[in-house]
């Protein structure tokens, strides 16, 4: 049961915990921000069904909190990479993933809104994809107006999906760790699919006329 985390999910501190976790996992992708969001949403479902007696977060506020923290984290990484510096340049050079992402982002983010938006939104679901895209966009010196709107959309999509998984999973399976586990499994599956799409070579995409 979610009673073991009731002291957190039953207080306003859950919003701070979610915000800090989501904000920082752009730099530390190992932080379990998705698990925390899902657990809080599952507890909200448990309250609605009477399975969890204490007060829990409002799912709308929880969604907005997670989405806002996601955007702020993206912009912090973007600004850090924009300013650059020898240490950051060396860190990117040592990472094949970041190097490839920086090269690809230079092309994709410079295209029309569709290609740019799909990459930013899809990468938000992939493991470490948010970090790669945010740092890559900053290092490639993409303009804020080319990145920020898609970061907002990506944050809302990820937060809404995570909260929906936890809430509806909790309603269908009850406010148990099983519901949290199944919901997190669905989030992981979405991440695996997103990772495949992000890593797929651009050459496989169909060419467009014009």
Alpha-carbon separation of residue 201 from 76, 110, 113, 137 (angstroms): 28, 17, 19, 18
Alpha-carbon separation of residue 140 from 3, 18, 132, 135, 185 (angstroms): 46, 30, 12, 8, 34
Q: What is the pLDDT of residues 131-169, one digit of tens each?
A: 888 888 887 788 888 889 999 999 999 999 999 988 887
Alpha-carbon separation of residue 135 from 29, 31, 33 (angstroms): 13, 18, 19
Low-confidence ranges of the chain (pLDDT < 50): 1-5, 52-53, 202-210
pTM for the whole thing? 0.77
Q: What is the pLDDT of residues 32-47, one digit of tens each?
A: 788 888 888 887 776 5
């Amino acid at each position: 049961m979610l009673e073991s985390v009731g002291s957190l999910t039953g207080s306003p501190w859950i919003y701070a915990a979610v915000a800090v976790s989501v904000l920082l996992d752009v730099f530390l992708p190992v932080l379990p921000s998705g698990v925390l969001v899902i657990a809080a949403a599952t507890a909200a479902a448990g309250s609605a069904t009477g399975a969890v007696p204490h007060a829990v977060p409002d799912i709308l506020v929880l969604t907005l909190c997670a989405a806002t923290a996601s955007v702020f984290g993206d912009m912090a990484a973007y600004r850090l990479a924009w300013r650059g510096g020898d240490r950051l340049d060396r860190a990117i050079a040592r990472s094949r993933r970041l190097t490839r992402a920086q090269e690809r982002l230079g092309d994709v983010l410079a295209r029309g809104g569709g290609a740019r938006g799909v990459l930013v939104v899809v990468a938000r679901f992939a493991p470490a994809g948010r970090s790669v895209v945010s740092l890559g966009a900053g290092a490639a010196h993409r303009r804020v107006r080319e990145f920020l709107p898609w970061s907002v959309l990506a944050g809302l999509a990820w937060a809404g999906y995570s909260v929906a998984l936890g809430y509806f999973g909790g309603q269908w399976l009850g406010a148990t760790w099983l519901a949290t586990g199944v919901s997190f499994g669905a989030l992981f599956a979405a991440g695996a699919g997103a990772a495949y799409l992000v890593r797929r070579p651009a050459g496989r995409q169909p060419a467009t006329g014009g």
